[in-house]
C-alpha cells in the first residue's frame, strides 16, 4: 500500500521507518509546516535527517501530502479536543477522495465519532484506529473479533505515565511531586503532564472503546466521561493500601453505558496492578469469560506496529 503519513512526531516517524518492513511504501510525509511527496516512495532516512537538522521534513506545502496519490492516510498529528482539528479535516479529505484512513490521533474518534462514521459510510475508504487505544496492544481488533455485542465491559490501565508515577510512589514511599519530577527527568512524563496525570488521555481511550461497543446506538465524547486524576493522591494513601495488600491504579472503565476514569484500589497481585509504564486491558466477554491483554501502551515503534497492523487489515484498493 502507498502511505501518506501526516505528523512527524514519534509515531509518524516510526511508521515511516517501519513501513518498508511491512511491505508498504511511504509516498508522502508531512509535518505541520512542510511536506515531501514522491509517487515512487520518499527517501525516509533523508527526510528524517532533514527533520532533525532543519526542523522540517521538506519544502512543499503540507497540504500537498494530503492531496497526493496514496492508498492510506496515516493520521498521526497530535490529539486535539473539541472539533479535533486539524486531524478531523485530514480524515474528511481522505475519505471524500475514497482513500483509507488509519488513525493514531485519538481526537477524531473520541470527539467526533459519529461524524467520522458518517463520512466513512459515504466513502469507498475504511477507517481503522487500533493505535488510538493502548499502543501495541490489540484491543480494538480483539473487540471486533469477539463482536462488540458480546463484550459487556472493559477496564484497564491505559496511561503509562500515570502508572509509572503510582508504581514508583508505592515502591519507594515517595510523594507525587517528587516522582513526577523524576518521571520528567526520565522522559516518561512530559513537561506539561496534565493530559496524563489528570486522566484525560486514559478517558479518551475509554471513550473510543465506548463508541466501538455502542455500535452507533449512542455517541460518546470526553464530556460523557467521569474523570479523576492522580495528582492529589497523597503518598500516605499508597502506604495504607500496601498494608492491606493493595495498591492504587488509575483505572479506566467502560460498563453499563458509562465511562469512568479514576484512581482505584486493586490487590497487589491482581492482573490490573501492572507496574511501570506497562498497560493492561481486561475485556469481559459473554461467552469466553475475562480476557487480559497487556503490553506497551505507548511509544513510537509500539504505536507504529498497531498502525501497520491496521494497514494490513485494510481491503485492497
The reply to whether 51 belongs to the active site is: no
- Is position 288 an interface residue for its own copies (rule: CB under 8 A)? yes
- Is position 78 an interface residue for its own copies (rule: CB under 8 A)? no
- Is position 135 an interface residue for its own copies (rule: CB under 8 A)? yes
CB distance 108 to 86 below 8 Å:
no
Contact partners, residue 164, CB within 8 Å, separation at least 6: 183, 188, 189, 276, 277
Interaction pattern, residues 149-168, with its own copies; x per rule: CB under 8 A: xx------------------
- Is position 81 an interface residue for its own copies (rule: CB under 8 A)? no
- CA distances for 265 relative to 161, 228, 257, 272, angstroms: 18, 14, 22, 10
Instruction: Please pick, from the candidates 25, 141, 184, 231, the single residue that binds its own copies as defined by CB under 8 A.
Output: 141
Q: Which is nearer to its own copies, 34 or 305 (CB)?
A: 305
Cell numbers for 258: 458509562
Options 26-34, 101-109, 219-227, 281-289: segment touching its own copies (CB under 8 A): 281-289
**Count of residues near its own copies by CB under 8 A:** 38
- Is position 148 an interface residue for its own copies (rule: CB under 8 A)? no
Angle at 41 between CA 39 and CA 43, to 5 degrees: 130
Q: Cβ–Cβ contacts within 10 Å for residue 41, how many?
A: 15
Strands (E) across 161-288 are located at: 225-227, 246-255, 258-267, 278-285
CB distance 134 to 156 below 8 Å:
yes
Q: Would you please indicate which residues are annotated as catalytic (active-site) residues? A: 205
Residues that bind its own copies (CB under 8 A): 14, 18, 21-22, 135-138, 141-142, 145-147, 149-150, 269, 271, 285, 287-296, 299, 301-302, 304-306, 308-309, 312-313
Amino acid at each position: 500500500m502507498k502511505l501518506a503519513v501526516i505528523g512527524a512526531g514519534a509515531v509518524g516517524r516510526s511508521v515511516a521507518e517501519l513501513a518498508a518492513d511491512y511491505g508498504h511504501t511511504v509516498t508522502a510525509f508531512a509535518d505541520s509546516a512542510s511536506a515531501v511527496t514522491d509517487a515512487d516512495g520518499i527517501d525516509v532516512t533523508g527526510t528524517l535527517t532533514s527533520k532533525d537538522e532543519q526542523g522540517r521534513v521538506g519544502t512543499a506545502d503540507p497540504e500537498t501530502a494530503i492531496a497526493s496519490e496514496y492508498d492510506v492516510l496515516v493520521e498521526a498529528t497530535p490529539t486535539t479536543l473539541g472539533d479535533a482539528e486539524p486531524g478531523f479535516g485530514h480524515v474528511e479529505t481522505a475519505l471524500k477522495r475514497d482513500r483509507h484512513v488509519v488513525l493514531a490521533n485519538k481526537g477524531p474518534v473520541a470527539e467526533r465519532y459519529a461524524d467520522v462514521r458518517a463520512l466513512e459510510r459515504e466513502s469507498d475508504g475504511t477507517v481503522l484506529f487500533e493505535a488510538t487505544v493502548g499502543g501495541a496492544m490489540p484491543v480494538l481488533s480483539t473487540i471486533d473479533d469477539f463482536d462488540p455485542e458480546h463484550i459487556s465491559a472493559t477496564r484497564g490501565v491505559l496511561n503509562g505515565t500515570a502508572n509509572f508515577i503510582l508504581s514508583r510512589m508505592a515502591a519507594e514511599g515517595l510523594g507525587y511531586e517528587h516522582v513526577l519530577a523524576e518521571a520528567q527527568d526520565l522522559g516518561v512524563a512530559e513537561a506539561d503532564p496534565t493530559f496524563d496525570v489528570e486522566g484525560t488521555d486514559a478517558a479518551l481511550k475509554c471513550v473510543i472503546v465506548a463508541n466501538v461497543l455502542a455500535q452507533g446506538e449512542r455517541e460518546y465524547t470526553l464530556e460523557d466521561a467521569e474523570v479523576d486524576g492522580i495528582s492529589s493522591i497523597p503518598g500516605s494513601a499508597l502506604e495504607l493500601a500496601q498494608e492491606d495488600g493493595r495498591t492504587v491504579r488509575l483505572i479506566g472503565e467502560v460498563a453499563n453505558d458509562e465511562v469512568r476514569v479514576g484512581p482505584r484500589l486493586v490487590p497487589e497481585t491482581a492482573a490490573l496492578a501492572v507496574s511501570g509504564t506497562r498497560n493492561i486491558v481486561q475485556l469481559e466477554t459473554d461467552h469466553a469469560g475475562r480476557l487480559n491483554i497487556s503490553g506497551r501502551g505507548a511509544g513510537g515503534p509500539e504505536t507504529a506496529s498497531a498502525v501497520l497492523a491496521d494497514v494490513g487489515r485494510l481491503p485492497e484498493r
